Structure 1
C-alpha cells in the first residue's frame, strides 16, 4: 500500500478521510465537548477573581523553587516541544488535505461489469452486424446456453467509418462460478480485416475518434485483426477512487487469426473474445485519516514525558476542572464533610501516627509544623482548593 499517485489529479472524499460516519460523530462530539469546556472556563474566570489569580499564577514565570539556569532550560525545551506539536498537527492536516491517495491493489472476480466494444472495418468503410452471442464460460461453449446480444449493438460513425458499437451497460452478465465468458461475434465488412476497441463503460468515452479515448485512467485496448477475424483476449485493470467512481483500462492480445471464404455480399469477419476471470482493482485510500491524525498527535504527546523526567512532575492536585469550575459548591461541601470527620477520612489519623515516631528525629528535620506545611505547599501538594474551602466555612 506504499504506492501513491503523485501526479494524477484526484478528488478528495472527506467522508472517507474523516473515517466515515463514526469519525464524523466522534469529531462532532469532540468539538462540542471542547466548546463547552471553554465556555464554562470563561464564565467562571469572569465570576470568580480567585480563579483569575490562580490562572495567572499557573502561567507565571516566577518560580523560586528552581535555579535560573534550570528555569531558562525549562522554557527553551517547553517552547521546542510546543513548536514540535504545532508542526506535527500542521504536517498531518496538510497531508490530509493535499497529499495524493495511497493505492491498495486487490484481485477480484470479473462479475457483472461488461465493457464497451467498438468494431470498425476501416476509414470510409462500413461494417454490418450479423450475429452476436455471449457464452458464460470459455471452455465447453457448446454446453452453455448462449445469450443473444442483438439488443446491445448500435451504429457509430466516426473517424474509422461506420462502426458497430456494443453497449456494455445494457448487458447484465449472468453470475457464474467461473466469472468469465466468451463473446462470439460475426460481421460483414467492405474489406478484410477488423479493428477492435475495448474500453470503459462510462460517459467520458469518445468513440468517434481514430483512437477512442476516455479520461486519464481509462485506457482503451486496441487490436487490428488481419484477414477474416480471429480470437483475442483482453485483460482489465480497474481504478476505484475515493468517491468510489470506477475507471477501467484494457489491453488486448491476439490468440489466433482466421481466414475463411468471403461472403457473396461482402467479407465475412468472425471475432471471438475471451474475457478474464480475474481483474486487478486499484483502490484509492486517503493518505491520512482523522484516526491517523489523532494517533500521530497522541504519539508525539508521549514525548512530553521527557519534560517531566527532566524537570519533575507538577504538584499533586486531586481537584480537576469539574471541581474547580463546574460543581464548585458541591465538591467544596463534600471536602469539608470529610475534613470534619463525617466521611471516611479522619483528621486525627496523622496525629496518632506521629506519636509513634521518634520526636527528636522529626524535630531535627523540620523545625516546626508550620515549616512542614510550607514545604508541602511549595513543592508537593496543591493546597489552594483546600484553603479556599476552609475559608468559606
Structure 2
C-alpha cells in the first residue's frame, strides 16, 4: 500500500511530525536503529529555554510553549543560571541580554547552588524561564498518537536505496521496501546522505559533536532543585539529572555522521572549566557519552519542500534545539504539506524554507 507520507528518521523531529501528519493521511516512519531517538534526541540536555538560539529558533521555541503546557507532565521547573569570571564582562552582558536574565548577588546564587566558588565567580545572572522536558514521555506520547491514528514505526529499517517511480518514492530498507507520495527527510546527521540517495542535491549540513559526563552529586548535595548552569558564553554547562549532575564542555567539533562518543581530552578540558567555578572537584565519572548536533550552513533549521523536487520534504538542521522547537516545527510541517497558511507565520516559514539555498 502506498503511504501518503514516508518519514526517514525517528528522532524528535520525525516522530512529532509523524504524530501530526497521521491526522492527514497514512504515515510510515523508518528508523535505522533498534529504537527511536537513538542518536541526538536520546542524548539531549532536555531543557526548554525559549530564548536559547538564533532568532528563528527563538521564534519556534516561543511558539511551542502552548503545546508543551497542554501536555501534562512534559515540563517541570528548572531555572537557568549563568556564571562569569572577572574577565568575561562582555560575554556576560550578551548572555544576560540574550537569555533575558536578571543579575543577582553572589550570595543569592550561592544559596541556590552552594558549591559556587566566591573567588572565581565574579558575576551571576538568573532566570526562572527554563524548564526540564520529560523527553521520554514526549517521545512516547508521539508514538502512541501515531499508532492510534493507524501510522507505523519501523525500527531496524536502515535505508538502502531510494528511487522515484511513477510519481512515487520507493524506499528499500533492511526489512523490505515501502512506497510513498511524499518523502520527509528527518534523518538528523544523515540528512544530506539521504538526499543524495534520493537524487536530491545536498544542502551542506554539518554534524558537530557535543560530549557529556555524568558525575556524582557534588559534595553529596541534593541537586534536584539546582538550576541549569551555563559557563559564560556557553563555555560549559551543568544540569541536575536523576540525583547526579551532567556536565558538558559544550564543544562543537565537526564530524562525519556516526554513532558519536565523547572525546576524553575535550571532556577533561570542559570539566576543568566547570571546576574553576565551583568548590567541589570532580573525582570520578559515572558515565560519559556524546551526540551530534546537526546544523545547516546558516545554523537555522530547514523545513519545507525541496525547490526542484516538491515531493521531497526537508525537516533538518535542528541543531541542539530539536526538543524545544518540536511542537511548532511539527505544526509547520503539517501546514506546509496541507497547503494552508503556516501557524508560525509566513515570514518565519520563509526563513526556514530550503529555497534560501537555491
TM-score normalised over the length of structure 1: 0.19
Q: Looking at CA atoms only, which structure, 1 or 2, has the larger radius of gyration?
A: 1
Larger strand percent: 2
Larger helix percent: 1
TM-score normalised over the length of structure 2: 0.20
